[in-house]
Amino acid sequence: MNFWKKLKTLRHTGSTTLTTSQGEPFTVLAPMANVTDWAFRNIVADCGRSDVFYTEFISADGISAVGHEKFKGELYFEENERPIVAQFFGSKPENFYKCAQLAQELGFDGIDINMGCPDKSVEKQGAGASLIKNPELAREIIKQTIRGAGKLPVSVKTRLGYNKIETETWIPHLLNTDISALTVHARIRKDMSKTPARWEELGKIVEMAKGTDKLIIGNGDVKNLNEGYDKANKYGLDGMMVGRGIFENPWFFCGIADSAERTPIERIKLLKKHLDNFEKLWGSNKNFDVMKRFFKIYINGWPGAKELRIKLMNTVNIQEAMSILKM
- Catalytic positions are 117
- In 77-179 the beta strands, taken as DSSP E runs, fall at 84-89, 110-115, 154-161
Q: Cα(271)–Cα(194) distance, rounded to whole angstroms?
A: 29
**Which of 274, 244, 249, 273 has its CA nearest to residue 260?**
249
Nearest-5° Cα angle at 217, 61 to 206: 120
Q: Cα(165)–Cα(186) distance, rounded to whole angstroms?
A: 10
Residue 240 vs residues 115, 153, 199, 227: alpha-carbon distances, Å? 17, 18, 11, 10
Partners of 113 in the β-ladder: 88, 156
**Which of 77, 88, 15 has its CA nearest to residue 49?**
77
**Which of 143, 145, 156 has its CA nearest to residue 117?**
156
Residue 186 vs residues 111, 114, 165, 214: alpha-carbon distances, Å? 21, 15, 10, 18
Partners of 110 in the β-ladder: 85
Q: Cα(109)–Cα(134) distance, rounded to whole angstroms?
A: 28
Contact 68, 102 (CB under 8 A): yes
Asked if the bond preceding 83 is cis, omega within 30° of 0, the reply is: yes
Contact 238, 23 (CB under 8 A): no
Q: Cα(206)–Cα(105) distance, rounded to whole angstroms?
A: 33
